[in-house]
Amino acid sequence: MLAARSLTKAPLARTLTAIPSKQLVTMFARSFTNTPNGSSPYQLNYFNKSRLPTNTIIRFVPQQTAWIVERMGKFNRILEPGLAILAPVIDKIQYVQSLKEVAIEVPSQNAITFDNVTLEMDGVLYYKVVDAYKASYGVEDAQYAIIQLAQTTMRSEIGQMSLDLVLRERTALNTNISTSINEAAKDWGIEVLRYEIRDIRPPVNVVNSMNQVVEKERQKRANILESEGLKISEINISEAHKQTEILKSEAEMSKRVNLAKGQAEAILMKAKADAESIKLVADAIKKNEGGKDAVSLQIAEGYVNAFSKLAKETNTVILPASLDNLPKMITSGMNIYNSISPETLNNAKEVAKGSS
């Protein structure tokens, strides 16, 4: 290569010297010429070879562009951005590769999922050339090849997934397609940066079925929420009734306890009063000489008063056998009193003291 360059330096210098200045300026201007829309006139497409730059000896390679130069029909070198000097006649710019990231549209196509649903899908593929030599000589039309590879890979990936999984795992599907394309296109000098599924169109009947499923699912969630609300409401009402009954029972229990305590206190107070009265009566009888006579008189009066009230309080009248002999009745009452011994009276007093 160095020898060839050294051989062409002298003819190249003589050629440049022989070219008129105006023609040389025109050659430099043509090297900077762009298309009317401002884009580079040199594309990756093989069928645009008619627009390839011509050999004007001195060329300026645009940034992010690689020119493939063939010498006498054989690959010679890759021109990098900047000034390039070509040998006339024998050097030819055969391919122009853009090193920028390129976005191409993948046409719409039909694909069948694992559960036999036909989907119409399209996408966008982003790639860039990483090896200009392989992109030029490894495949005839790299863009066409990459589109076809993207379509076949997408159909293959879709065939392994169900419809629900395709709709749910779109990101994973894009990643799998990009990985598969990169494995197949590594000999073409092209790297796929990413693949994006742009649109997925299921059949109309499938869309209607999906809408019905969604509507049923929404109705199901609504019914579940409504039933949960009713359940919570019933639980709250039952809990409220339970708490009400508990409070009522506790109030009733407190009422009965208080009533029982009151009755017990009343009984205890009455017992203490009776004990105190018995004690006083016993002391009075013991201290006074006529106490026994007074007691006898009081017992007789009580005996008579009791019999006088029998006919007033009930229809049943109990009469003693000796009713016709009143003195005998009084004598019986006194005998009962006299039968009480002093020890019995003392015991009664002790009981009264203990109760007080």
Mean pLDDT of 1-12: 38
pTM of the predicted model, to two decimals? Answer: 0.48
pLDDT in tens, 163-215: 888 888 888 888 888 888 888 888 888 888 888 888 888 888 888 887 888 88
Q: Which pLDDT score, from 0 to 100, does residue 304 have?
A: 67
Amino acid symbol at 101: E
**pLDDT recorded at residue 13:** 43
Average pLDDT over the chain, rounded to whole?
76
pLDDT of residue 350: 62
71-92 pLDDT, tens digit per residue, is 998 889 988 888 988 888 898 9
| Helical residues (DSSP H) of 32-137, grouped into ranges | 132-137
pLDDT tens-digit profile of 241-273?
Answer: 999 999 989 998 998 999 998 888 889 888 888
- How many angstroms separate the CA atoms of 196 and 215, rounded? 29
Strands across the sheet containing 65-71: 74-79, 65-71, 91-98
pLDDT of 9 strictly over 60: no
The domain limits of the chain are 2-98, 102-202, 288-355
Percent of the chain residues past pLDDT 90, beyond the cut: 3
The domain defined by 102-202 folds into: Tetrahydropterin Synthase; Chain A (3.30.479)
For 212-243, the pLDDT digits (tens) are 888 888 888 999 998 999 999 999 999 999 99
* pLDDT for res 12: 41
Tokens describing residue 73: 């029909």
Place of tokens 């109030």: 251
- Alpha helices (runs of H) in the chain, residue ranges in sequence order: 2-18, 21-31, 132-137, 142-158, 163-168, 170-184, 204-287, 291-313, 326-338, 342-355
CA distance 87 to 82: 17
- Residue 307, SS3 per DSSP: helix
Task: Using pLDDT thresholds of 50, 70 and 90, give the confidence band for residue 309.
Answer: low
Tell me: pLDDT of 41 over 60: no
pLDDT attached to residue 7:
36
Q: pLDDT tens across 103-140, in order?
A: 999 888 888 888 888 888 888 999 999 888 988 888 88
Of 125 and 288, which is predicted with more confidence? Answer: 125
**Predicted local confidence at residue 139, as pLDDT:** 83
DSSP E strand stretches across 90-218: 91-98, 102-112, 118-129, 190-201
Which residues make beta-bridge pairs with 106? 123
Check residues 11 and 103 and name the one with the higher pLDDT.
103
pLDDT score for 308: 66
pLDDT of residue 89: 87
